[in-house]
Structure 1
Amino acid sequence: MGDRVRPVGPRAAAAAACVVLGLGLIGGAATGSWLTGDSAGAAGARDSFTAAADLWHSVPVDQIFPTTVEGEGAGPGGADRAWTRIAVAPDSGCAKAFDPLLRKVLAPAGCLRLLRATYTDETRSHVITVGLLFTKADSAAMGVLNSRFKDEGLDRRRDLLPRPYAAKGTVAAGFGDDQRASWTLSVLTDAPVVVYAVSGFADGRSVTEPQPAEDAMETGATTPPAQAGLGHDAQGLADRIERGLRKNVGSATEKPS
């Protein structure tokens, strides 16, 4: 694949009109599933999409980014993992959160709000930034963006990386662009959200060839990110933050019995 990225078609649209800016960060995470089944039909899907768009300012921070995230079976060989939150970034725009080319690819979806937190593993030797980009796109535009990432393999390119949140006074203080070792990025289609995570070593060592989490998790992979389990850290934490988001959407759309 060449270095140039084709522009996305102009299908991004404004998200639900009820979404407004607020000061509160989000909250509450746990594992869970999205509202499943199609019995609710299109109306139910729209309700879920709208509810997801509103979560960034309607849910407490500890629910979206829990202080501790358990990763049962999330490590190499099915080992258990656990991650502790060490910092939450102020909710912000997207200007400095992505490498320039990734920012260009995501731009058609718009940036309503970006939420980020940085975690460390139990040994405090790894650091992982996980992010939730709430876009301004409608469901059709998110579907187009999702297809593009899959069809063109954009989630595997080293020139399309999310950036870490290096929190001063923590073990992640030196977690910069050169320290990125593994990453994952997922464009959701049932919510106007892009979920990502990027991991690295807490000692600040540079990594010349970051590896997508999917590759770093392959059996027999021998790269430094793979051997350290940094692919598992990025994927495992991103998965669980995404599950928490989905659980919050399910709660927001439940009808009283």
Structure 2
Amino acid sequence: MSTDAEFADARHIPPIPPQPPRRPDPAVTPGPEGDPQTAVLRRIPAEPPVPAPGAPAAAHPVPPRPTVPPPAAGAQPPPRPDRAPGPPAPAAPAAPTPPPPAGRPAAFRDTAAFHLANSQKLWSDPRERGAGSGAGAPPAPRNPAPAGPPPAPGSGPTGPAAARPPQVPWPATAAPHRGVVPGAGAPAMLRHPSGRRPGPRLLGAVACLVLGIGLIGGAAAGSWLSDEADAAPATAAATFAKGRDVWHNTPADRLFPRTVNGLGVGPGGADRTWTRIAVAPDSGCGGAYDPKLAAALTRAGCTRLLRATYADATRTSVITVGAQITKTDQPGMRALNTRFSTKSLGTRTDLLPLPYAAKGTPAEDFGRAQRASWTVRILTDIPVVVYAVSGFADGRAVAEPQPAEEAVRPGATTAPAESGLGHDAKGLADRVGTDFRKAAGSPTQTTEASS
């Protein structure tokens, strides 16, 4: 019984059988026309047989490899010593020369590495984009080559011009307007698209815009200047002159309001409310005063007389308030006020203004005998004489009328004082005088002596 250890010795390994001898080549070797490989390739001799162990050396050693380069295509092979010379081979037609390889292999242009490496050039080179990106398309030169000899083989496409794809021209950038050099960061809207001068329509629009801005600025400046002029304090002469025209420049509702609220002006500090019931048309001063009062006011002159009649909230008292626009100047108004104050012309019962008794109103029966209290104010900052006269709405007669300045004194027990008729005359005269001063733009409240 044998084991694997018995075959471990090299003496028990069977010998390798020898390779069969090489068959001799046929006597007649086909010519180049029969074997086209002979004209193109050189036959490589077979490897020599490996001698068996213990066998004698081969009779013929392996010849060395030839050092002469193979013959060119179409040339007759050199004669071999072990073959008989054959008939001469006919000259083969010259094979067409293959086109030289392109500048960039087609396989390389289809790879991601090629596109990543040449993406910037492909985007910035218009000729490269125009030539296309197909396989085998060579890159177009950035600058056209000058006229001269043809380029070296392999530097450009050799096909006909009709076979190449047409090059799409890249849109040209419009030239900037003459005299305007846009900066590197200037927006595209600053560059004129056509490179021409703006037309008359655009110039007209720009001119209208500039004119409109100028008009708006001028109006704003004028308003600002007028506001400053209005804010500046007016002079006494300007205020006096303006007061002469308030009777026809100011609405009647501003000079004689429809409703007048007197806070704390009634007897004992009570609130009073008066409602306008009639407004007399503006007229002259004839028939508005007792004869002696009219004579006292004659020196000042009379431009216009405005009157209105009010009733209190209870409709028990009626009050006529009037304003005479004088013709005198400011010194004449001061002199008139001094005369009334020093001679007590405003407290005399024979110098009373007359009421305005409008028909169909609670003041219809308001006449001379119904006058209970009155006041006359000579304004010195504007040419206006303000007066007020009050009485009972039921038409009762008053035997002894009392001036308003006396009827409003604390402790007065007369009928005008206890009924509040003195407060009505004084309160309405003060309000109308204030309204006339506001209409004239008087800066201060002037206090005149009570008349």
- Normalised to the residue count of structure 2, the TM-score between the two structures is 0.46
Aligned residues: 212
Q: Which residue of 2 aligns with 1:102?
A: 293
Larger strand proportion, structure 1 or 2? 1
User: Is this contact kept in 1: 2:375–2:404, CA < 8 A?
Assistant: yes
Alpha-carbon shift at residue 46 of structure 1 (Å): 0.5
Measure the CA separation in 2 of the matches of 1:83 and 1:249.
Answer: 24
Aligned partner letter, 2:305 = L
Q: Which residue of 2 aligns with 1:61?
A: 252
1:160 alignment partner, SS class: coil
Aligned partner letter, 1:91 = D
Q: Which residue of 1 aligns with 2:378?
A: 187
Q: Specify which of 342, 348, 352 is matched with residue 151 of structure 1.
A: 342
Aligned partner letter, 1:250 = G
How do residues 130-149 of structure 1 correspond to structure 2 at under 5 angstroms?
130-149=321-340
Task: Kindly indicate whether residue 281 of structure 2 is the aligned counterpart of residue 87 of structure 1.
Answer: no
The one-character-per-residue Cα deviations of 1:222-257 (angstroms, maximum 9, x if unpaired) are 1111110000000001101111111111289xxxxx
Task: Kindly indicate whether residue 387 of structure 2 is the aligned counterpart of residue 196 of structure 1.
Answer: yes
The one-character-per-residue Cα deviations of 1:24-72 (angstroms, maximum 9, x if unpaired) are xxxxxxxxxxxxxxx95xx700110011110001111101001001101
Task: Kindly indicate whether residue 433 of structure 2 is the aligned counterpart of residue 242 of structure 1.
Answer: yes
Q: Which residue of 2 aligns with 1:5?
A: none
Measure the CA separation in 2 of the matches of 1:251 and 1:218.
Answer: 29
1:143 alignment partner, SS class: helix
2:283 alignment partner, SS class: coil
Q: Compute the RMSD of aligned alpha carbons.
A: 1.4
1:85 alignment partner, SS class: strand
Q: Specify which of 269, 277, 280 is matched with residue 78 of structure 1.
A: 269
Measure the CA separation in 1 of the matches of 2:439 and 2:261.
Answer: 18
Q: Specify which of 114, 118, 126 is matched with residue 317 of structure 2.
A: 126
User: Is this contact kept in 1: 2:239–2:442, CA < 8 A?
Assistant: no
Alpha-carbon shift at residue 132 of structure 1 (Å): 0.3
Seq. identity, %: 62
Measure the CA separation in 1 of the matches of 2:273 and 2:349.
Answer: 27
Measure the CA separation in 2 of the matches of 1:228 and 1:130.
Answer: 18
User: Is this contact kept in 1: 2:371–2:390, CA < 8 A?
Assistant: yes
Aligned partner letter, 1:80 = D
Higher Cα Rg, which structure: 2
2:297 alignment partner, SS class: helix
Measure the CA separation in 1 of the matches of 2:439 and 2:329.
Answer: 19
Tell me: higher relative CO, structure 1 or 2? Use CA pairs within 8 A at least 6 residues apart. 1
Task: Kindly indicate whether residue 213 of structure 2 is the aligned counterpart of residue 213 of structure 1.
Answer: no
Stretches of structure 1 lacking an aligned partner (at least 5 in a row): 1-38, 253-257
Q: Which residue of 2 aligns with 1:114?
A: 305
Q: Specify which of 416, 421, 431 is matched with residue 230 of structure 1.
A: 421
Aligned partner letter, 1:176 = G
Q: Which residue of 2 aligns with 1:44?
A: 235
Measure the CA separation in 2 of the matches of 1:138 and 1:247.
Answer: 19
Alpha-carbon shift at residue 218 of structure 1 (Å): 1.1
Measure the CA separation in 2 of the matches of 1:91 and 1:209.
Answer: 30
The runs of at least 4 aligned residues of structure 1 exceeding 2 Å deviation read none
Aligned partner letter, 1:74 = V
Alpha-carbon shift at residue 183 of structure 1 (Å): 0.4
Aligned partner letter, 1:228 = S
Stretches of structure 2 lacking an aligned partner (at least 5 in a row): 1-231, 444-451
Alpha-carbon shift at residue 177 of structure 1 (Å): 0.6
Q: Which residue of 2 aligns with 1:167?
A: 358
Measure the CA separation in 2 of the matches of 1:113 and 1:125.
Answer: 30
